[in-house]
Structures are given as C-alpha cells and as structure tokens.
Amino acid sequence: MAQIDFGGVVENVVTRQEFPLSKAREILKDEIVAVIGYGVQGPAQAMNMRDNGINVIVGQAPEFRADWDRAVADGFVPGRSLFTVEEAAAHGTVIQYLVSDAAQRTLWPVLRPYLTTGKALYFSHGFSVTYKQHTGVIPPPDIDVILCAPKGSGTSVRRNFLAGAGINSSFSVFQDYTGRAEERVIALGIAIGSGYLFPTTFEKEVYSDLTGERGVLMGALEGIMEAQYQVLRENGHSPSEAFNETVEELTQSLIRLVDEKGMDWMYANCSATAQRGALDWKPRFREATLPVFRQLYEKVSSGEECVRVLTSTGAPGYREQLNTELAEMGSSELWRAGAAVRKLRPENK
C-alpha cells in the first residue's frame, strides 16, 4: 500500500500504479465472479469487470423483466453469462451480492446454500452484515467475506470507467477463511475500475454511507436547495433566476472548481463580495446543521435508521409510495424550472 498524507493524517491506500490491472487479472484468473442483481451497482461493476477481462456472469430473477432485459441488452447471454440467481450462485466462486439492502434480507435464504467452502461473498455496502441482528444475513464461517464500496452511483462507476477515470472505493475484509481475502477484494476493486482503494470496516462504511446519503450528498443538498429557492421566489425572483442561483451555478461552475483544486481555490476564483459573504455565513450554516448531523449519526450507529429503512421499504405499496414522492419532487416548480434550464444549455440546442 502507498502512504498518502490526507491533510496531516497519513493513510494507507492502494493505487492502480502499485496494483495494476494485470495483477488483478492474475489473481482472479481462476475465479468466476457471479454478480447477483442487475439494478443499481450490478450493471456497472459487471460490465467494467467484463471489459477488463474478468470471467463474469450475472444472476438475475427473470420475473424482474426490466432488469433481465437490460442485462441482455448489455450483452449478457441467457444460459451462458446470464442465469437465475440460484444458477449463478452455484457457478460463482465470488458472489457479488449487489441487490438492494431490503432485497438482501429477503433473498438470503435462497443464496445461503450456495455459499460453499472457500467461496467469497462480496458486498458493496456494509448494511446487511453490520445490522445482521435485523437482516439475518450471517455468513457461514468457511468463506471469505469482503467489501468494495465505490463512492458513487452505478451510473458514475460506468461513466468514469468509460472515460478512463475511476470512482474511488473503500474496501474491507470481514472474514478471511482462505488467507486470500484481501488480495481478492483489492483485485476486484481494481477490476471494477476504482480510482484508488482505501481501507475501512463494514461498520464504518455503512455509518459513513448512510450519514452521507442522508446528509450532504442527497438529503441535506435537496433540503437547502428547496429552502433557498423558496426564499428567492417569496421575494419576487423569477423561477429562472432562482434556479440559476440555487442549482445551475453550483453544478455547472462552482462545483467543477472544487473538483479541480478544492474549496479554497473555488473561493479564490470568485468575486471579493462572494468570498467575504461566504466566509462570514459559512460558520452560521455549520452551527445550524451540526446538531442535525450529530443526531443523524447517532440514529445510524444505533441501528434505528436501519430498522426504519427495512420497515419502510418492506411495507406493502412501498414502490407506489416512492414513485409518488419522486413524482412530487420532479413536478415541483424548482425542478420544472431545472428541466427548462437544461434544455437551454448550448449542448442541447
């Protein structure tokens, strides 16, 4: 591993320079990687590994027709590289369990008999193992249990791979039966196209992931966008102006500067008025949200959030409820204005 200084804290990470794809291929040459589930992460990881020369098959329930047909459209052939969940699990030496957290609990009794001695059970989220008292997902003792969690959606994992870049991923070994668990998971992380890999634990991965999704990455982001947009509209600003100042400038300009060289560089490349105002107001937003983040983390680490998620997503009619909530968001004035703005971008003209 390479030692990297992250702001004064030295961490060990795995880069593609020290662990090239050729090494990953050598480690995985005798493995059959069975990707179970072709929903969010499954397609990207399966196609990236296939493109990198890894022996990949997909296990997908045929009754979920849209996902089955998507796998076929992506080049997986029924009976050759696309199977039922049970068939794929029987063939695979590495089982990548990439169905949703709720589905992992439901599907576990089906998958469990195929986890025979020496196989590897791979997760991209620590949820089911960390909260095993709620999910019932307790791996047998004679297999490797590993985790590689890309820090991005499946769509981003695939897009970055095709662009020659990579999504950074965390990795962990929960159980090392064969003595090869770490080299297996690092090889798989390289094979799915990770930019670099950093070590974690199953528990830390799920705590940080649930906090991030509910916080800055999704929940807090949408919440503060809605609040700012509402205040601007209440004060007579047009939908176009309110959207551009709330979303468009962030996503099309400022966040790209942050990505390029950091937040301080973005500040340095804004007007003096913007700099001063942002620096003055930043502490107020931090202090206002810090109690919310502390409460969120406590609910995640206690398991309360796990129970709430499993109860909600497992309830009858949940899919219809979810679709209704997403439709309400999409039909709000904020995101209808966004659709209009996107159509006016030069690349769409």
For residue 343, the number of C-alpha atoms closer than 13 Å in the C-beta half-sphere is 7
- H-run or E-run covering 34: strand 33-36
CA distance 115 to 111: 7
Name which of 134, 205, 212 is nearest 174 in CA terms.
205
Structure tokens that stand for 240 in this block: 């176009």
CA distance 177 to 151: 27
**Which distant-in-sequence residues (6+ apart) come within 8 Å of 80 by Cβ?**
none
Q: From residue 178, how far is each of 134, 183, 336 by CA, in Å?
A: 28, 11, 54
Residue 125 bears catalytic tag: yes
Structure tokens that stand for 211 in this block: 């906090």
CA distance 310 to 58: 25
Helices 272-302/304-313 angle, 10° precision: 80
User: DSSP alpha helices (H): ranges in the chain?
Assistant: 21-28, 42-51, 65-73, 85-91, 101-111, 127-130, 132-135, 154-162, 181-191, 202-214, 219-234, 239-243, 249, 255-261, 263-268, 272-302, 304-313, 318-330, 333-343
Catalytic residue among 91, 125, 134, 237: 125
Structure tokens that stand for 76 in this block: 């997986």
CA distance 72 to 56: 14
Active site (catalytic) residues: 125
